Amino acid sequence: MLKSIEELRAYRAEAKAAMDSENRKIIICGGAGCVSKGANKVYERLLALLEEKGIKFNVKLEKCSDGDPVRVTKSGCHGFCEVGPLVRVEPQGWLYVKVKPEDCEDIIANTIVKGECVDRLCYTQHGIVYKKQSEVPFYKKQTRISLSNCDKIDATSIEEYLARGGYTAFEKALTQMTGEQIVNEITESGLRGRGGGGFPTGRKWSQVARQTRLPKYVVCNGDEGDPGAFMDRSVMEDDPHRMLEGMIIAGIATGASEGYIYVRAEYPLAVARLKNAIAKAEELGILGDNIFGSGFSFHMHISRGAGAFVCGEGSALTASIEGKRGMPRVKPPRTVEHGLFDQPTVLNNVETFANVADIINNGAEWYKSIGTENSAGTKTFALTGNIKNAGLIEVPMGTTLREVIFDIGGGIRDNGEFKAVQIGGPSGGCLTEDHMD
């Protein structure tokens, strides 16, 4: 266990040095969509070929000094589910799509040995071959904040999260900011709840911070019940520490000492990844009692839902955590005053917490520069249905449906005519051509 912030910084610097030393890396998408299409077989075949050909490789984050070994790793979801399994080669940023185990021979012989791009595996649209992921139209109009790590790190490795600047916002909040300053930064940023209600996050946190009754709780709503939605799932499965960091910062800001994550039982991988992330954070001393001698204590718990759609509503969710029937209650009283176990409670969804660390690190003005005047930042969406490029995207608030459906989504499959789009799951409506802009 690390004993101080100085030790955490040294540990992070060591992890970053190891990541920076990786000159050659093969990243296989380990998201659910790519795994269902055979990504694990691609991963295993790549390892087998490297071993057969006597090419040195690592599967874990290690400082590279001996003969420049190739790093082979599985990341979280890359988002472009339609053309999986996806394989990206670094440092070139080349993206290979629809990769099969039999393509691995080409990747090793040409890309790894010769340093050449295998054009036939690259994404092609209207006769144009897009070699780099950043150039593919699906990615070009996106701005990734909450999903920024998902296609880059191994979700089971806290070292990789640290190497990309993980827990620097927690460190800043713990040692350089008061609770009031944290709340003011979140308020100024304009971050609104990403669960659908759009309530100003800073206002909610300030209301809990003003409460004098202890203990206080931070609750994360991971009960993503809308059919076809998998945005929160991707964060929990692919970058769980980002969400944990946001929750811990909420605890520092409001004086809460306990965090609860409510996850759908239908997300077993998310549950496993969150358990692993909590255990790793506890091992390093980021979670626990008197964290790094600061006097601040924070403990994290996971509560699994039983598939009830109604438990996505805040008061029903807290009732379910308490072991009661998940039923919404009449308000007031509000969750900020009488929430979990009848105590003051911050309740936000996964994506909301996933934005917090970047706001603390980069400042409210940076966040407000993205999106619109009344809705700052980005929003993740699951693109599903009769569309060419189904997948997971993140775009600035204010992006039009036309841009989402046609520029990023590629339009209707088989060049069909657009009829309507349903937004927001069962609670949302159907929008037609008149609403596209």
Residues 352 and 198: their CA atoms lie apart, in Å, by 10
> Token pair for residue 58?
């690592």
More confident residue, 224 or 292: 292
Domain boundaries, the chain: 20-140, 158-368, 387-435
For the segment 371-377, the average pLDDT, to the nearest whole number, is 94
Domain 20-140 classification at class level: alpha beta
Q: From the CB of residue 159, how many other CB atoms can be counted at a distance below 10 Å?
A: 21
Is residue 79 within 8 Å of 151, Cβ to Cβ?
Answer: yes
> Token pair for residue 354?
């996933």
Is residue 58 within 8 Å of 72, Cβ to Cβ?
Answer: yes
For the chain, give the number of residues.
437
Give CA angle at 78 (403, 33), nearest 5°. Answer: 100
Residues 256 and 296: their CA atoms lie apart, in Å, by 9
pLDDT at residue number 66: 64
pLDDT at residue number 327: 87
Residue 67: band (very low, low, confident or very high) from pLDDT cuts 50, 70, 90: low
**One-letter amino acid for residue 298 of the chain:** F
pLDDT at residue number 416: 92
pLDDT at residue number 426: 72
Q: Which residue has the tokens 């946190």?
A: 205
**Of 24, 292, 11, 2, nearest to 157 (Cα)?**
11
Is residue 84 within 8 Å of 74, Cβ to Cβ?
Answer: no
3-state SS assignment for residue 250? helix
Paired with 222 in beta bridges are: 263
Paired with 132 in beta bridges are: 94
Kindly report, residue by residue over 13-66, the tens digit of the pLDDT. Answer: 999 999 998 889 999 999 988 999 999 999 999 999 999 999 999 999 888 766
Residue 425: band (very low, low, confident or very high) from pLDDT cuts 50, 70, 90: confident
For the segment 88-116, the average pLDDT, to the nearest whole number, is 96
pLDDT at residue number 311: 80
Q: Which residue has the tokens 């309740």?
A: 347
Q: At what angle do helices 240-254 and 179-189 cross, to 10 degrees?
A: 120
Question: What is the tally of helices (H) and strands (E) in the chain?
Answer: 16, 15
Looking at 119-128, 259-268, 426-435, which range is the least confident one?
Answer: 426-435
Residue 92: band (very low, low, confident or very high) from pLDDT cuts 50, 70, 90: very high
For the segment 334-342, the average pLDDT, to the nearest whole number, is 93
User: What fold characterizes domain 158-368?
Assistant: Rossmann fold (3.40.50)
Is residue 184 within 8 Å of 307, Cβ to Cβ?
Answer: no
Looking at 200-204, 283-287, 333-337, which range is the least confident one?
Answer: 333-337
Residues 307 and 309: their CA atoms lie apart, in Å, by 6
For the segment 172-184, the average pLDDT, to the nearest whole number, is 97
For the chain, what is the mean pLDDT? 94
In the predicted structure, residue 192 carries a pLDDT above the cut 90: yes
In the predicted structure, residue 223 carries a pLDDT above the cut 80: yes
Beta strands across the sheet bearing 217-222: 299-304, 258-263, 217-222, 345-349
In the predicted structure, residue 89 carries a pLDDT above the cut 90: yes
Q: Which conformational region is residue 48 in: left (phi greater than 0), alpha (psi within -120 to 50 degrees), or beta?
A: alpha
H or E stretch including 243?
Answer: helix 240-254
Four-residue CA torsion sign, 170, 176, 178, 183: negative
In the predicted structure, residue 237 carries a pLDDT above the cut 90: yes
Give pTM, 2 decimals: 0.95
Strands 87-90 and 25-29: antiparallel
